[in-house]
Chains A and B, each alone.
Chain A
């Protein structure tokens, strides 16, 4: 692009080249340079290792502390490995709250919103990309405008609406609103970008074979959209799995709680957290996502990067 500009020696470039001792490279100098480069590389790896501590240590701490007794958790100096590992905190997780039900709540709410969002977003994304109808662009802008409205802005009217429909303390608002509201807006956008770049010939062939528009979408376009669907699925599932404000606003009974909300409820009679039990519950909620992530980390990271880039 700008190679010629940068490739040509600039004023500054020449100046620094003149004082750069590495510029004329005699044979013995080359060896020193390689060694210096190797040293820099190891210094960079050391820097990266140091930087990774605050990213990895909390998860390690969480997992190991969930096996400790209350007194060992607070011991100084801290123990990196439990001296007498015990599964008692894990038993307490299920004794103090209907944790299994809460787990199931989070799972099925996230699964349903993900499936619903994929359907809504891929249908709309496909039509916006490929079907010509009056008002196509205008309607697309109407949908896209939703990206500018944070969900916190509309929480009061939505809460009043849910309340007047008698749906407080049910899971309906946590499933239906995300499917049709904010996450599906981003999903629609991602799907539209994908379908725009899909080769047209594939669909034409389908049409020659007498497929209806629905048939073209369902049998040709949708199956080909797997990468985009995966991105939307990851993004929607994570968003639902992590949802916090909405559950604490809409839900009031423990059997209906979702995981993020349930995690904060492991407190003693004085409202202080029971740390080992809370950390055991936290570990249990992290494991499935972390396992999926570690198995499919490349696709996972790319999928999220894609939604981030295109959102």
Chain B
């Protein structure tokens, strides 16, 4: 690192100090490095190894089967369905979350009365624990719950939100978006405050309307944040588990059984650890590819980088 090179160059320590310093360095990083190896790397290798086995804990079988689990995945309609559910879920989250977060951030970036109040209001679900938030929404969305009671009071007969396959998916997407959009909003607000006001003013003088200024100035200038937030949001949505377990248990049918939930059921309900490991490998590859893909394409659509 340049910083440490500077230390060495400026004060020319004796080599014994430097040697001792290097030893301290290893000591300092040891817990993090060993922890990362023990709790991330080794389990990752193990999961690949397990995925090549037929492993049913109840039947106490653990036999090497090569690619059998992967062949099973190809032929498994339920897995295909969970991939489709994951795709819908993530796409819904991405589009709704990013656009709502941007809208809120742009609104709060105006000098309006009550900005602090609204900032806290939109952010507050982030600090409410996910299970608490989900339980409340589960209550509001049940057939005789709060939302339908409100709808009934204006004469609308609401559906049983969590029991219809389309409405269940829409419901969990919306509940997740309201929960987390505040965090993305804050990230966008921070980015918006970095957009120089003079540019906006100059464009206004040139007669550019609000929408045009937003499209040609604001969006390009905060595009690194949009990229980062998109990656975090998509990866986060692929890891959604609690929301689904509490609210729909993957149902109705398998309509909200996203990949993580399918993995959990194979492992901890059906005791199919080998097959679950193969699904885990698939999940890892999807997260990896999506992250690298978004990172690779950043030069094409990201305006500037620090």
Q: Which positions in A face B, CB cutoff 8 Å?
A: 1-3, 6-7, 9-10, 12-14, 16-17, 20, 23, 41, 44-45, 47-48, 51-52, 54-56, 58-59, 61-62, 65, 74-78, 119-121, 123-124, 126-134, 136, 139, 142-143, 145-146, 148-161, 177, 179-182, 184-185, 188, 196, 200, 203-204, 207, 212-214, 217, 238, 241-242, 244-245, 248-249, 259-261, 263-264, 273, 275, 278-279, 282, 285-286, 289-290, 293-294, 297, 300-301, 304-305, 308-309, 311
Task: Kindly list chain B residues whose C-beta atoms are within 8 Å of the C-beta of A75.
Answer: 149
Whole-angstrom distance between the alpha carbons of A43 and B132 in the complex? 33
Whole-angstrom distance between the alpha carbons of A248 and B18 in the complex? 48
Q: A6-B199, A134-B22 are in contact. Are A44 and B276 (CB under 8 A)?
A: no
Residue ID in chain B nearest A278 by CB atoms: B135
CB pair B121 A76 closer than 8 Å = no
Task: Kindly list chain B residues whose C-beta atoms are within 8 Å of the C-beta of A123.
Answer: 28-29, 31-32
Q: A74-B144, A286-B129, A304-B186 are in contact. Are A264 and B43 (CB under 8 A)?
A: no
Task: Kindly list chain B residues whose C-beta atoms are within 8 Å of the C-beta of A132.
Answer: 1, 4-5, 7-8, 18, 21-22, 25
Closest Cβ of chain B: how far from A202's Cβ, in Å?
Answer: 12
Closest Cβ of chain B: how far from A25's Cβ, in Å?
Answer: 12
CB pair B4 A130 closer than 8 Å = yes
Q: Is B170 an interface residue (CB 8 A)?
A: no
Task: Kindly list chain A residues whose C-beta atoms are within 8 Å of the C-beta of B184.
Answer: 308
Task: Kindly list chain B residues whose C-beta atoms are within 8 Å of the C-beta of A179.
Answer: 35
CB pair A65 B139 closer than 8 Å = yes
Whole-angstrom distance between the alpha carbons of A207 and B20 in the complex? 14
Task: Kindly list chain B residues whose C-beta atoms are within 8 Å of the C-beta of A279.
Answer: 135-136, 139
Q: Is B198 an interface residue (CB 8 A)?
A: yes
- Please name 13 pairs of A and B residues whose Cβ atoms are closer than 8 Å in the assembled complex, sorted by A: A13-B207, A58-B137, A61-B146, A62-B132, A120-B32, A129-B3, A132-B21, A148-B287, A153-B287, A154-B43, A154-B46, A249-B268, A308-B184
Q: Mask for B210-246, Cβ within 8 A of A = 1, else 0?
A: 0010000100000001001100100100110110011
Residue ID in chain A nearest B24 by CB atoms: A213
* Chain B binding surface, main DSSP class: helix
Q: A152-B283, A300-B127 are in contact. Are A58 and B36 (CB under 8 A)?
A: no
CB pair A289 B129 closer than 8 Å = yes
Task: Kindly list chain A residues whose C-beta atoms are within 8 Å of the C-beta of B187.
Answer: 305, 308-309
Whole-angstrom distance between the alpha carbons of A127 and B30 in the complex? 10
Task: Kindly list chain B residues whose C-beta atoms are within 8 Å of the C-beta of A245.
Answer: 241-242, 264
Whole-angstrom distance between the alpha carbons of A207 and B13 in the complex? 10
CB pair A180 B124 closer than 8 Å = no
Interface stretch, picked from B65-73, B76-84, B89-97, B110-118, is B110-118
Task: Kindly list chain B residues whose C-beta atoms are within 8 Å of the C-beta of A78.
Answer: 146, 149-150, 153
Whole-angstrom distance between the alpha carbons of A177 and B288 in the complex? 22
CB pair B36 A185 closer than 8 Å = yes
Task: Kindly list chain A residues whose C-beta atoms are within 8 Å of the C-beta of B23.
Answer: 133
CB pair A275 B139 closer than 8 Å = yes
Residue ID in chain A nearest B209 by CB atoms: A16
Whole-angstrom distance between the alpha carbons of A181 and B132 in the complex? 26
Q: Is B120 an interface residue (CB 8 A)?
A: yes
**How many residue pairs between the two chains, A and B, have CB atoms under 8 Å in the bound complex?**
337
CB pair B119 A133 closer than 8 Å = no
Closest Cβ of chain A: how far from B27's Cβ, in Å?
Answer: 8
Q: Is B183 an interface residue (CB 8 A)?
A: yes
CB pair A148 B28 closer than 8 Å = no
Q: A44-B112, A58-B136, A143-B36 are in contact. Are A150 and B5 (CB under 8 A)?
A: no
Ranked nearest first, the 10 interchain pairs of A and B with the lowest CB-CB distance are A180-B35, A13-B206, A124-B32, A127-B28, A131-B25, A154-B43, A17-B207, A181-B39, A133-B25, A244-B242
Closest Cβ of chain B: how far from A144's Cβ, in Å?
Answer: 9
Task: Kindly list chain B residues whose C-beta atoms are within 8 Å of the C-beta of A207.
Answer: 11
The listed residue (A119, A148, A156, A300) touching B47 by CB distance below 8 A is A156
Residue ID in chain A nearest B118 by CB atoms: A48
Residue ID in chain A nearest B154 by CB atoms: A77
Q: A153-B44, A154-B43 are in contact. Are A48 and B114 (CB under 8 A)?
A: yes
CB pair B32 A180 closer than 8 Å = yes
Q: A139-B33, A214-B24 are in contact. Are A242 and B129 (CB under 8 A)?
A: yes
CB pair B198 A241 closer than 8 Å = no
Task: Kindly list chain A residues whose C-beta atoms are within 8 Å of the C-beta of B44.
Answer: 149, 153-154
Task: Kindly list chain B residues whose C-beta atoms are within 8 Å of the C-beta of A217.
Answer: 28
Using A156-B273, A200-B3 as known contacts, list a sample of 17 further A-B pairs with CB atoms less than 8 Å apart, ordered by residue number in A. Answer: A12-B212, A13-B203, A45-B113, A58-B125, A58-B137, A59-B128, A76-B149, A131-B25, A133-B26, A180-B38, A200-B7, A242-B129, A242-B131, A242-B242, A278-B135, A282-B131, A300-B127
